[in-house]
Each structure stands twice: as C-alpha cells, then as structure tokens.
Structure 1
Amino acid sequence: MSTPAPASVKPSAPSKVELLELLSAVGGAVCQDFASAAAPHGLTHMQVKVLTHVHRDPASMREIAEALACDASNITGIVDRLEAGGHVRREVSPTDRRVKNVVATDAGRAVLRTIRGTMQAHGAVDTLDPDERTLLYGLLERLRPQIERGGAAHTAT
C-alpha cells in the first residue's frame, strides 16, 4: 500500500507523450461515440465530419479536404452522398465562379444537432464544473491551431 505524497510535494507534470496518449484516447472515444450516434441516421463518421465543417459556414471542396486531411476525390464522394440525402447542397462561390462551396441545409443542421444530442460524451463533460469546462476549453483552443496545421517543429519530450 502506497502512502500519499505530502501536500507540500507537487506531483510531476505529465510528459508530452503521456498528454498525447491521453488526447488520443479521448479523441478516439469521441470519434467512436460520434460514429455510433450517426449510424442510426444513415451517416458515416466522415460524412458527419464534413457536415460539422460546413454547418456554420460554407466551404469549398478543397478547404474541406485540407481541414480533414483527405484527398479531394474522397470528399467529392462524401459530399455526393450528403447531397443525395438532403444534408448539404453545392453553391457557386460568390468570390470565384469556378469554385463550388458546400453548404449545410436546414435538414443537415438538424440531424447534426440530433447526433450531438445523443452522444454519450456529454455525460463525461457533465462531470466537470463550469470552471473546469472553461479551463479545458481554453487549453484545447490554444492547442487546436497547431494541431490542425500539423504542429510546430518537433522538439524533445
């Protein structure tokens, strides 16, 4: 049986590897939760990721492909299926008539709200008090830009 450390002893900070493993585990669980919540609506995880990307603002196929780190040809098929289901539509870009933007429809935004509402991850988030949610949100928002663009130059842990 181990003895707890005295209150004056500060625990060591987790390593970068430990933090990344934890982020990966949480991210993977949220992705699985997302996929499970989307399946009853006939949507795949990737279709919901595209819908999530365009639910507030239109985006070009190229922007979606870059944001989701996918080949543009894969995005075309995903958008085709979303469009066939009435979840998105394509519109000519107001700034470049050669570009088609993907726009979420009201039906697409409604199904996304429903999917998010049935996700089990909400229960985990509910265990955090408002101050903890604010802290976590701020930290994740700080990390997000670097993670989305592939991170900064690699440094030692």
Structure 2
Amino acid sequence: MAPHGTDPLTLEVIELIGSVVARYHDEYEQAAAEHSLTGAQARVLGLLTLEPLPMRRIAQKLKCEPSNITGIVDRLEARGLVERRPDPGDRRVKLAAATQEGRGTARQLRSSLDFAREPLAELSAEERTALRDLLRRMLGERDDDRPQD
C-alpha cells in the first residue's frame, strides 16, 4: 500500500485542488483588474464587506503581515472604498470597514466570477454544503472561525 498521502486518489485530489485554485486566482485577478484593484486589494475589500476588522485581524485572515494590510487599506481608503473608524470596544484600535461604494464594488466583483459560481450552481444544496464542510475541515477551521449561515 502507498504511504499515506501518496496514493493515486490523494494525488489526483491534490492536482484537482491546485487546478481549481489556479483558475480561480486567474479569474479573480482579472476581475479585480477590471475594477482597477489588485487581487490583494479585492480580497481585503471582500473581507471588509462581511464586517469591519482591525488591521491585525485582516492580516491573520489573509495570512500576511499587518504592515502589508496597512498599505492596502490606505489605497482602498484613498479611493473611497474603505474607511477607518474607532473600535467601539477599544478606542485605541481602528477598524477598517467597507464604505457603501466599496460594498457595491465588491458585489460587482463577486458577480463577475463565473468560474466558481457556475459549476457550483450545478451542485445540489446538499453537495455544496458537503463541499463547504470538507473544505473547512481541510483548513482546520473551528466553529467560532466560521461566518454564521
């Protein structure tokens, strides 16, 4: 028997995940460019449409350095897509939040991502739920990391 992780099925799944990620990344970068955004700016904007977040938390979610996030938020703020506001729970902390214009831009960006949306629409609700749960499990997400359905 092949060592754990090197059996043909596991290798095929790894290749398929890589192909999906590459195609999604390419389409996401193209959609972002159509809005004069970098992929990183689009990802931050999309995240901030869910909830206002401090820079440190954005960096954790996107797995990058907080200093990178500060520059991205600066550029989004200069375009009127994001604003900084005080954290009601801690006056020392600033939250980045999507503006109304930013939410509209993020919505347009999401609606242009046909690669992911169209194949997912062909799956039943049960299949999409199973896929979501498997992906979350692969990522090691806990219940408190998950957005509420």
Query: For the superposition of Structure 1 and Structure 2, which TM-score range results when normalised by the shorter chain?
Result: 0.7 to 0.9
> What is the letter of the counterpart of residue 80 of structure 2?
G
Equivalent residue number for residue 121 of structure 2: 126
- 1:84 paired residue number: 78
* Mean Cα deviation higher: 40-49 or 121-130: 121-130
Aligned position for 1:135? 130
Aligned counterpart for 1:38 among listed residues 32, 38, 52: 32
Question: Distance in 1 between the 2:80 and 2:43 partners?
Answer: 16
* Counterpart for residue 144 of structure 2: none
TM-score scaled by structure 2? 0.80
Runs of 4+ in 1 over 4 A off after TM superposition: none
- Structure 2 counterpart of 1:102, which letter? A
In the superposition, the TM-score normalised over structure 1's length comes to 0.76
Pick from 4, 9, 16 the counterpart of residue 14 of structure 1. 9
Residue 50 (structure 1) aligns with: 44
Residue 96 (structure 1) shift: 1.5
Task: Report the equivalent of 1:111.
Answer: 105
Question: In structure 1, the residue corresponding to 2:84 is in which secondary structure?
Answer: strand
Alignment deviations for residues 4-30 of structure 1 (CA, whole Å, 9 cap, x no partner):
xxxxxxxx8722x43233222212211
Matches within 5 A, 1:88-99: 88-99=82-93
Task: Looking at secondary structure, tell me which structure has more helix per residue.
Answer: 2
Question: Displacement of 1:64 after TM fit?
Answer: 0.7
Instruction: For 1:55 and 1:24, locate their aligned partners in 2 and report how far apart those are by CA, in whole Å.
Output: 27
Report the 3-state secondary structure (helix = DSSP H, G, I; strand = E; otherwise coil) of the residue aligned with 1:42: coil
Q: Provide the identity percentage.
A: 41
